[in-house]
Amino acid sequence: MTAPRLLRSVLYTPGHRGDLIAKAPRYGADALCLVLEDSVPDELKPQARETVAASLTVPGAVVFVKVNPPGPGGLEDDLASIVRPGLAGIILPKVLAPADVHHADALLSAAEAEHGVEPGSVAILVLIETPLAGVRAFEIASASPRIVSLIPGAAANGDMARELGFQWTPEGIERLFLRSKVLMDQRAAEVPNPLDGIYGEVADLEGLEVEARHARQLGYRGKLVVHPSHVAIVNRVFTPSEAEVREHRRVLEAFDAALAEGSAAAVVDGRFIDYAMAATARQVLELAERAGVGA
């Protein structure tokens, strides 16, 4: 399982709001997340499932769906309604253990077979929202080949903040261990596209950029976003700049020249370069190419 396209920004959109879903692709997010869980009133969830199912092939969009946890009127009903051609994946909340992923995987396999969806094609993105899930992040990340991202839930006053008891700050020191551990564990499990969680201060675009930069510095590839105004900032932060592209091209040119002379080491602007640094440069340039930078 690989992440569909480039995943820098995933824009949340309420699943019962067909008017907002129709507008969402214009904002430029790499994917949409149509929400069936916490932003949809319980009495509107049946209607939301119908709206989401009808929106899976919205032009120009990769569509994920944030489903409900298992239980009456929850995950099982969601998947029975929305696993159709066009569904890229689900965002799975309230995961506590690998068994929760196994359950969702089995339901997805059954629904794919029933509704003519390519077997194994629906990805799973897992929200890590409790201390127990954080402790078990590696096991959760290893639970299914469908998993393309683990997402730390570290928003102000959210589930994780309440259960850990932390006080959210813009500097983020209280969230650093959580974000670092979830990242390390999923990378150890070879999960391809780590995403950071939402930034809940909708009007604070400067704060959003700072947090997104911190996430990229840690190693995340993108971020969930809750407002259209966040999309362009997040896309820019998680896209290699033209200056980065030039720098990494110089690294590869110098390294290739060294190889041609029988050496596997070079120095660029006072920095030592060997196979490891060259591999990093190639990775950054591949990401830039996928984002259309420096082409």
Cα-to-chain-centroid distance, residue 155: 15
Residue type, 230: H
The side-by-side arrangement of strands in the sheet containing 31-35 is: 147-152, 123-128, 87-92, 63-66, 31-35, 9-14, 222-225, 195-196
Q: How many angstroms separate the CA atoms of 106 and 182, rounded?
A: 24
Query: Which candidate, 63, 56, 137, 146, places its Cα nearest to that of 104?
Result: 146
Can you state the angle between helices 173-188 and 205-218, rounded to 10 degrees? Answer: 40
Structural domain spans, the chain: 9-237, 242-290
Band of residue 230 on the pLDDT scale cut at 50, 70, 90: very high
**Residue 3 predicted with pLDDT over 50:** no
Report residue 130: phi and psi, to 5°: -135, 160
**Residue 152 predicted with pLDDT over 70:** yes
Half-sphere exposure of 205 (CA within 13 A, CB side): 9
How many Cβ atoms sit within 10 Å of the Cβ of residue 168? 16
**Residue 294 predicted with pLDDT over 80:** no
**Residue 181 predicted with pLDDT over 70:** yes
Q: What is the CATH number of domain 9-237?
A: 3.20.20.60
- What is the pLDDT, as a whole number, of residue 2? 42
Q: How many angstroms separate the CA atoms of 145 and 82, rounded?
A: 20
Write the CA distances from 234 to 139, 254, 259, 280, 281, integer angstroms.
29, 32, 37, 22, 22
What b/e string do you get for 216-232 counting C-beta neighbours within 10 Å, with b at 16 or more?
beeebbbbbbbbbebbe
Query: Which candidate, 126, 175, 166, places its Cα nearest to that of 146?
Result: 126
Q: How many angstroms separate the CA atoms of 169 and 293, rounded?
A: 33
Q: How many angstroms separate the CA atoms of 228 and 159, rounded?
A: 24
* Region of residue 28 (phi > 0: left; psi between -120 and 50: alpha; otherwise: beta): left
Stated pTM of the model:
0.92
pLDDT tens, residue by residue, 48-92: 999 999 999 988 889 999 999 998 889 999 999 999 999 999 999
Find out whether 170 and 210 touch, Cβ atoms under 8 Å. yes
Band of residue 5 on the pLDDT scale cut at 50, 70, 90: low
What is the mean predicted confidence (pLDDT) over 150-176? 92
- The answer to whether 112 is a known ligand-binding residue is no
- The answer to whether 253 is a known ligand-binding residue is no
